[in-house]
Amino acid sequence: MKYFIQTYGCQMNYSDSERLTTVLKKLGYEECDHYSKADLIILNTCSVKQNADNKVYGLGEPFEKLKAENPKLRIGITGCAIRKCTGVRGECKEDIFRKMPTVDFVFRIKDLMQVPDILQKLHHVEGGDEIKDLLHYFNINPTIANISQVFIPIMSGCNNFCAYCIVPYARGREESRDMSEILDEVEKMAKRGAIEINLVGQNVNTYKPNDASPDSNETPFTQLLRRIDAVKGIERIRFYTVHPKDMTDDVINLYGELKSMVPHLHLPVQSGSDSELKRMNRFYTVERFKDLVTKMRKKIPHISISTDIIVGFCGETEEEFMESYNLIKDEKIDLVYVSKYSERPGTLAQKEQKDDIPEEIKKERFEKITEIMKSVSFEYNQQFVGKTVQVLVEKVYKGYASGKIPEFKMCRFKSDDQNLIGKVVNVKVDKAMEWCLEGDASI
């Protein structure tokens, strides 16, 4: 039997899909490269960017048609769209069963250990007994596609209730993995060839494991970063996501001190207006965000700062929007993940505020933020022209090898050599565009 997993959303979801892959392989499923060949399709959803009614939860072809062509096909949904329960249709009440009549089962990601039982019912597959007994889904070894760049969850859930966000309802409250368990995973990955570690969690600065050093003056997250930096073979550490209210000076102080802290930070501001941040329930001011950017630039002047912006949030005035626009321009934020607000059932914003900004205005604001970001990014990228950058190769396609430099910019160079994937290559940049750099490799 063949499976196909479609993952949407953040790095946490991609990391979860790696653990899901392990479970499916233990049950004897084999991966296939297109959903039309699969007997099992699992959608790992994101309700932050999409809602369940969006066409995006299809795969370009109606599931009815795929099921008519392959009667064995079963469809499952996990991720942030699943909040209430885990089970097959008829056994548990999840709204998605009503909205999507072709879905056969759903599971909350924390119930991943129940997937073998579910698939035994649906496909009569055997195995996976050792998974059923695990206490937490983090204990399932991930199946890593690209060993040079590894995503490691350090915590799950969130204690913040940002007005627009479904995550605390979908994933529950924060739970941190023990530091010893994370370090063990990092060491194993480093031995297999990992170069870049991406630590993921909804709010990494409030990481609170049971085994942090009680005598340290530093936060547990800082302790963790120091210990990962000391692991042989690890050259780059990135982390997602940081909440501006919780970012601490001890983490900032590691920039420029630890060899593997990359000159890039993703610091999601969401809005450049204090009044809007208040309605979003974000609990910091724009000044706080600017202070953090200034502190980071004092440590590393050329650091790349990326952020998230939501446009068209409930009641967003033109003045509030322009504050976001000006923040990106004035603080020179060189990468913005911009999204148009849309309501998520069950969130504070849906219950207490009005999604009252017309779609065309949301679209206009989206485009304006994209335009200013492109101009800041273009300017930022010019600094690399004539310099040699280190590209960690992710892909070799149509005559070009490409990958990210430490500053999180994509860089490509001419090559057909598939063996370069996972290697760090020095590239002399001769061209800088809005979205990427280009140059010649010295191999």
The residues that touch ligand SF4, with contacts defined as CB under 6 A, are 158, 160-162, 165, 167-168, 202-203, 243
Identity of residue 403? G
Per-residue CA distances from 437 to 335, 381, 386 (Å): 14, 7, 11
Nearer to ligand SF4, 168 or 172 (CB): 168
Structure tokens at 305: 């700062």
Q: How far is the CB of 240 from ligand SF4 (least distance, A)?
A: 10
Nearer to ligand SF4, 172 or 422 (CB): 172
Nearer to ligand SF4, 229 or 246 (CB): 246
Nearer to ligand SF4, 243 or 404 (CB): 243
Round to whole Å and give the CA distance between 252 and 16.
28
Per-residue CA distances from 116 to 25, 129, 151 (Å): 11, 8, 24
Cβ atoms 439, 403 nearer than 8 A: no
Cβ atoms 264, 258 nearer than 8 A: no
**Count of other CB atoms within 10 angstroms of residue 351:** 10
Question: Max alpha carbon distance in the chain (Å)?
Answer: 62
Q: What residues are paired with 31 via a beta bridge? A: 3
Nearer to ligand SF4, 1 or 348 (CB): 348
Q: How far is the CB of 219 from ligand SF4 (least distance, A)?
A: 17
Nearer to ligand SF4, 308 or 394 (CB): 308
Q: How far is the CB of 9 from ligand SF4 (least distance, A)?
A: 11
Round to whole Å and give the CA distance between 295 and 435.
26
Q: How far is the CB of 323 from ligand SF4 (least distance, A)?
A: 19
Q: What residues are paired with 393 via a beta bridge? A: 403
Cβ atoms 234, 226 nearer than 8 A: no
Nearer to ligand SF4, 202 or 402 (CB): 202
Q: How far is the CB of 65 from ligand SF4 (least distance, A)?
A: 35
Helix H, strand E, coil C: the string for 196-210 is EEEEECCCHHHCCCC
**Count of other CB atoms within 10 angstroms of residue 352:** 11
Q: How far is the CB of 15 from ligand SF4 (least distance, A)?
A: 15
Nearer to ligand SF4, 49 or 395 (CB): 49
Nearer to ligand SF4, 171 or 238 (CB): 171
Selection from 298, 294, 295, 276 nearest residue 285 by Cα: 276
Cβ atoms 190, 367 nearer than 8 A: no
Q: How far is the CB of 122 from ligand SF4 (least distance, A)?
A: 31
Structure tokens at 231: 């692991």
85-93: list long-range contacts, CB under 8 Å, 24+ apart: 86/111, 86/114, 86/118, 87/114, 87/118, 88/118, 88/121, 88/122
Q: How far is the CB of 149 from ligand SF4 (least distance, A)?
A: 23
Q: How far is the CB of 389 from ligand SF4 (least distance, A)?
A: 31
Residue with tokens 């059932």: 345
Q: How far is the CB of 19 from ligand SF4 (least distance, A)?
A: 19
3-state secondary structure of 330: helix
Q: How far is the CB of 180 from ligand SF4 (least distance, A)?
A: 26
Backbone angle region of 133, left / alpha / beta, with phi > 0 → left and psi within -120 to 50 → alpha: alpha
Q: How far is CA 315 from the centre of its chain?
A: 28
Nearer to ligand SF4, 78 or 148 (CB): 78
Nearer to ligand SF4, 159 or 317 (CB): 159
